[in-house]
Amino acid sequence: MSSMKDSVADAQSAGNTLLEIGALLMSSGASTHRTRVTMKRIAQSLGYGIELLITQRALMLTIIEKDQQYFFSRMKRISPLHPNFKMVSGISHLSWNVKEQNWGVEQIKDELQRLKSLPKYPRWLLLVMVGAAGAGFCNLFGGDALNMGVSFIATVAGLFVRQEAARKNFNPYLCVFFAALVASFLAGLSEHFEIGADPEKAVATSVLFLVPGIPLINSVTDMIDGNIQNGVVRAINGLMIAFAIAFGLFTSRMILNF
Amino acid sequence: MIVLEILTKAFWSGIAAVGFAILFNVPKRTLFPIGAMGAIGGFIKFGSMFLGIGIVLASFIGASLIGIISIQMAHMKKSPPLIFSIPGVIPMVPGAFAYRMMLGFIALIDLEDKDVYIQTLIDTVNNGAKMIFILISLAIGVSIPMLISRKETIKKLKETTN
């Protein structure tokens, strides 16, 4: 009797850990295919069979124990996309360690804890580098040095606003709207005061840091892999972010043309 | 002169790639390769455009190259390829076309003159079509190595080639 309890408890513990790994992967920016392959790899190495349903915001897992006597099913909510490639990379390592060095569930849990506590880049570095990316975009589109400077400042201000809005728990699309509004308004002022050769370029590039690169690229990747549903969901999410950017631009245009 | 201009654009592509890499919180050891890949992708894209290749095909060529290098980098730096390929292709994202398309749609709201309306509509649809096709070519370009090799993980890719 106790051995049955043990195997059930083991399967439950493994199932919960697998769900956590899958949810972390999806919310960190991995594609559906990668999430499925990684979870299968870990489950097989632990000696379980699994069946999976992966959607954008929820995971469903059935884990079947070795001799097919016990199984365990559970659903888990996935938090919204919050890109974190350190997590994707760390979980990829973890899955190979489970396979090649026979890690157990306890070791996996410890490693997940460690990955979650990894430091992020300092905020000033993030602001400066994303600002530099904005200036870089401006150069790519043919802006001169002054336009690039305007784009840098507008991008930094926009990203700062987005971070603060996210901290105050605004709706994510609204955060993008605020950021686009502030960035394009600041860049639009340079149009007003005629700073640089082509101020329109600075306005166009000041909002590019908001472009939903991960949802759009993962959307096409998912569709190629046959995960059409997730691909469509990601595409619509990307479109909604694009509309939020457009709405921010529209509002700042209205204010500046007033 | 034109070479210098392409090199400058390549440099700023690299900077843009690193900026997005930091935004996506990549592991520190991958930052330099991502910057280099962004620069190489930008160089190939603007170089092919200078040779007269259209922007869609040029983006596709650049993205495919980034996809191929990202597999190699994944082995060297022990990280999944998407960590290199997604920030690497972001400088090629058709932001300017998206911007012009949005402005076009905004302008369409209260245009009244028929000829101006039609011209704006043509430009808007043209910009939108370019944007969508560039996006698709970027995404297919970076997944080309995995599509051709038909392997589930890049580890198997290495085992078979060794």
Q: What is the pLDDT along chain A (258 residues), one digit of tens a residue?
A: 456 777 778 888 889 999 999 999 999 999 999 999 999 999 999 888 899 999 999 999 999 887 777 778 899 999 988 899 999 999 998 999 898 888 888 889 999 999 999 988 999 999 999 999 999 999 988 888 899 999 999 999 999 999 999 999 999 999 999 999 999 999 999 888 888 888 888 888 899 999 888 888 888 888 888 899 999 999 999 889 988 998 998 899 889 887
Non-local CB neighbours of B142 within 8 Å, separated by 6+ positions:
A217, B63, B64, B66, B67, B70, B85, B86, B88, B89
CA distance A63 to A80: 25
Looking at the fold, whether A103 and A136 belong to one and the same domain comes out as no
In this structure, the answer to whether residues A79 and A178 fall within a common structural domain is no
- A106-139 residue pLDDT tens: 889 999 999 999 988 999 999 999 999 999 999 9
A74 and A133 inside one domain: no
Question: Which A residues, 46 through 85, put their C-beta within 8 Å of a C-beta on chain B?
Answer: 83-85
CA angle B121, B124, B129 (to 5 degrees): 125
- Cβ atoms A222, A24 nearer than 8 A: no
State whether residue A139 sits within 8 Å of chain B by CB: yes
Query: What one-letter code names the amino acid at A176?
Result: V
**Chain B residue closest to A37 (CA)?**
B152
Among A95, A116, A137, the domain boundary falls at A116
ipTM over 0.95: no
| Residue B84: domain span | 2-161
**Tally of structural domains, chain A:** 2
Closest C-alpha among A202, A212, A217 to residue A249: A202
Whether the Cβ atoms of residue A148 and residue A135 lie closer than 8 Å to each other: yes
Q: How many CA atoms lie within 13 A of A22 on its CB side?
A: 33
A255 touches chain B (CB under 8 A): no
Q: Which residues of B touch A136 (CB under 8 A)?
A: 12-16, 19, 91
**Residue A75, amino acid:** M
Spatial separation of the C-alpha atoms in residues A182 and A103, rounded to whole Å: 49
Q: At what angle do helices A32-46 and A2-28 cross, to 10 degrees?
A: 160
Q: Are A23 and A79 in contact (CB under 8 A)?
A: yes
Q: How many CA atoms lie within 13 A of A43 on its CB side?
A: 26
Whole-angstrom distance, CA of residue A190 vs CA of residue A25: 41
Question: Of A116, A136, A162, which one is at a domain's C-terminal end?
Answer: A116
Residues 6+ positions from A97 with CB-CB distance below 8 Å = A103, A107, A111
Task: Identify the domain boundary among A116, A141, A160.
Answer: A116
pLDDT at B55: 92
Chain B residues near residue A208 by CB distance under 8 angstroms: 93, 95
Q: What's the structural domain count of chain B?
A: 1
pLDDT tens digits, A23-36: 999 999 999 999 99
Q: Which residues in chain B have their CB less than 8 angstroms from residue A134's CB?
A: 19
Whether A153 and A198 share a structural domain: yes
* Dihedral, A240, A142, B137, B44 alpha carbons, nearest 10: -150
From the CB of residue A136, how many other CB atoms can be counted at a distance below 10 Å? 28
Q: How many residues does chain A have?
A: 258
Residues with Cβ < 8 Å from B32, sequence gap 6 or more? Answer: none
Q: Are residues A160 and A224 in the same domain?
A: yes
Interface of A with B in 87-116 (CB under 8 A): 87-89, 92-93, 96
- From chain B, pick out residues whose CB is under 8 angstroms from the CB of A221: 139, 143
Range of the domain at A17: 2-116
Contact A140 B83 (CB under 8 A): no
Same domain, A75 and A197: no
- Strands, E assignment, chain A: 49-54, 58-64, 71-77
All residues at 6 or more sequence positions from B121 whose CB lies less than 8 Å from its CB, including other chains? B104, B108
Q: For residue range B36-84, what is the model confidence (pLDDT) as tens digits?
A: 999 999 999 999 999 999 999 999 999 999 999 998 888 888 888 889 9
Q: Does A240 touch chain B (CB under 8 A)?
A: no
Same domain, A251 and A129: yes
For residue A92, list chain B residues with Cβ-Cβ distance below 8 A: 79-80
B16/A136 touch (CB, cutoff 8 Å), yes or no: yes
Q: Is A245 on the interface with B (CB under 8 A)?
A: yes
**Torsion on CA atoms A168, B20, A90, B75, rounded to nearest 10:** 170
